[in-house]
Structure 1
Amino acid sequence: MRSTFTVLFYINRNKIKKNGKCPIFGRITIDGKVAQFSTGEEIEPGLWSAGEGCSNGKNKPYKEINRKLEQYKTDIDQHYNRQIERNGYVTAESLKNAIQGVGREEAMLLKEFLIWNEEIHQSIDITHTASTYRAYTVAYESLKRFVHDKYEPGDIAFNELDYSFIEDYVFYMKTNRGLAAKTVYTQIKFIKRLLQRAVHKEIISRHPFPDYVPDSSPVIRRWLSKEDLDKIMGTSLQKKNMNFIRNLFVFASFTGLAYVDLYNLKQENMVTDRDGNKWIHQKRAKTGTEAHIPLLDIPLRILEKYRGTGKDGKVFDLPEYSVARRTLNLVKRECKLDKPISFHMARHTWATLICLSNGISIETLSRMMGHRNISTTQIYAEATNQKIDEDMSLLEERIENKYSFLW
């Protein structure tokens, strides 16, 4: 029923400008929900009829104002009918978006993605990190290649998206670009977030493929063995920068901090409980969940070594991640390791080698790691069980035929 749909115009008499005029606003009401917008017009309060919602002036400028307001009503009515036909329902907010330009032309996928990326760029160091922005930029560029190859205008409207679109994109990433299943899965997550945003902005009424999940390979958590960690800790490094990054890698291996959290670690995150035990209490940059990490002897000694070297309240004076990653590769070479290492591997090492292998419960580890869901932590337990299976297989091979037993 359209009895709930109304459009009226009014002036704000509390906002009289220096020229003596008030701005004219529009109000759309659907099912009791209201959206207001500016018409861009203005008028003297004495020449406005509140009851009629229009000007009562007789001169040409005032007749022109009334003509424009009538055009607004016509446009809103047309958008109402169009959205009902296309989406099955309409909201006051979606009509407001339509008359303000969002709906005058079809909302396009790449265009909206670019707007979103710019918003993320503006929020770096506020609600997002620079690495998050880079990840979204990579996702945009990947999608742009596909859309430019497949669609003539070089973009696609949101209301044209369906399952065939996402399946074609997955096929394109796997075949044309040779991307691994895990990378494909990550790219699809970005698109699904973009579409959810479009639903919230009322660009589209529903997600076109909410349940779609591409085939993905299982996540593999890699960690260091005790022998490899001993190599890193026991190798003498002469260069100051390599020694520093090695020590911070070891710190991460005994605290489970990701590099961004290590970078952001402040003195205020260092807590001493009433028994004199020292802890790190810090919200994770990735999830916003607070992690509570007890400090063992080795990280305490590293903290003491670099006491007072941080700037602006930070514990450590760390370089950007790209610099730290290059230096860590040099450390790997000096330590004669035959596998790649990363700061995230240090986090996995802490979870598996330091904690789970020494009897720390999944529940305790989940809280220390700042995981939102314990199922994320259970991946580490599965990895530890896998390591046990591998070790037992090796043991079986080593002791085969070495023992005899008289039945």
Structure 2
Amino acid sequence: MRITVESKRTEFTTERECEPSRWNAVAGRATGEKETVKSVNAYLGNLEQQLLDAHAALVRDGASITAVTIKNKFPDVGSKQLLLMAVFADHIERMMALVGQEWAFGTFNRYKEHEHHSTAFLKVRFKTTDFDISRMNFAFIADHEFYLSSIRKMGNNAVVKHRKMFHQIATRL
């Protein structure tokens, strides 16, 4: 199955087979009257509807619409995207378990604050609550730092500390 959004595409297997001579590429369905053909076509129709529902959910949530985000919204298909706020949550959960041993409580609170600022940044800049880490680039980091210094009114030292925290979380992967 191929998903195309703004000339960018992603593909995945439906794990169904069809004789090449029975495949109608224009219709995107198998041709014939056999029960196996009907079963494949019904499965593809169901799959197509689920992908349309995934697209609608992304639109409803105000999330970024790409071929990959639609594919990853669809359950059990392809590799799941690694989301920034999920990585934050995992990191903070691990930190909480080590407060008093490896981490000071104040450091833990600064990471929680950074998580809050990052969530707010995603809402302001991308109008979403999470972000696919594979899409992070220099512009994303620069926008994040600009957000901290301009909207959150942080000084240079605070922005540098937040960049270090962000780097530590992002490079843990």
Scaled to the shorter chain, the TM-score interval is: 0.5 to 0.7
* 1:89 shift after superposition: 4.8
Task: Pick from 106, 109, 121 the counterpart of residue 184 of structure 1.
Answer: 109
Q: Report whether the alignment pairs 1:32 with 2:7.
A: yes
Contact 2:83 2:131 in 1 (8 A): no
Structure 2 counterpart of 1:46: 21
In the comparison of the two structures, how many residue pairs are matched?
Answer: 128
Structure 1 segments, 4+ long, off by >6 Å, are: 107-110
In the TM superposition, what whole-angstrom CA distance separates every residue of 1:193-223 from its partner, at most 9, and x where no partner exists?
A: 9x98x513589xx9xx96487x9xx89xxxx
* Residue type at the aligned position of 2:57: R
- Structure with the bigger RCO (C-alpha within 8 Å, sep 6+) is 2
3-state secondary structure, aligned to 1:63: helix
Unaligned runs of 5+ in 2: 123-129, 159-167, 169-173
* Residue type at the aligned position of 1:200: D
Aligned residues: CA RMSD: 4.5
Unaligned runs of 5+ in 1: 1-25, 118-135, 146-172, 220-285, 287-407
In structure 2, distance between residues paired with 1:72 and 1:41:
12
Structure 2 counterpart of 1:99: 74
Judging by fraction of residues, say which structure has more strand: 1
* 1:93 shift after superposition: 1.0
In the TM superposition, what whole-angstrom CA distance separates every residue of 1:149-169 from its partner, at most 9, and x where no partner exists?
A: xxxxxxxxxxxxxxxxxxxxx
Structure 1 counterpart of 2:51: 76
Matches for 1:77-156 after TM superposition, within 5 Å: 77-87=52-62, 89-101=64-76, 112-113=86-87, 136=91, 139-142=92-95
Task: Pick from 49, 54, 59 the counterpart of residue 34 of structure 2.
Answer: 59
TM-score calculated relative to the size of structure 1: 0.25
Judging by fraction of residues, say which structure has more helix: 2
Are residues 144 and 68 of structure 1, via their aligned partners in 2, closer, same or farther at CA, if it must alter by over 3 Å? farther
3-state secondary structure, aligned to 1:41: coil
Contact 1:113 1:140 in 2 (8 A): no
In structure 2, distance between residues paired with 1:56 and 1:83:
33
Q: In percent, how many aligned pairs have the same letter?
A: 17
Are residues 201 and 76 of structure 1, via their aligned partners in 2, closer, same or farther at CA, if it must alter by over 3 Å? farther
Are residues 65 and 189 of structure 1, via their aligned partners in 2, closer, same or farther at CA, if it must alter by over 3 Å? same
Contact 2:83 2:132 in 1 (8 A): no
Flag the structure with larger Rg: 1
TM-score calculated relative to the size of structure 2: 0.54
* 1:48 shift after superposition: 1.3
* 1:56 shift after superposition: 0.8
In structure 2, distance between residues paired with 1:28 and 1:55:
19
Contact 1:29 1:92 in 2 (8 A): yes
* Residue type at the aligned position of 2:132: H
Are residues 202 and 87 of structure 1, via their aligned partners in 2, closer, same or farther at CA, if it must alter by over 3 Å? farther
3-state secondary structure, aligned to 1:34: strand
In structure 2, distance between residues paired with 1:144 and 1:183:
10
In structure 1, distance between residues paired with 2:65 and 2:97:
30
* 1:101 shift after superposition: 3.5
Are residues 72 and 27 of structure 1, via their aligned partners in 2, closer, same or farther at CA, if it must alter by over 3 Å? same
In structure 1, distance between residues paired with 2:97 and 2:36:
47
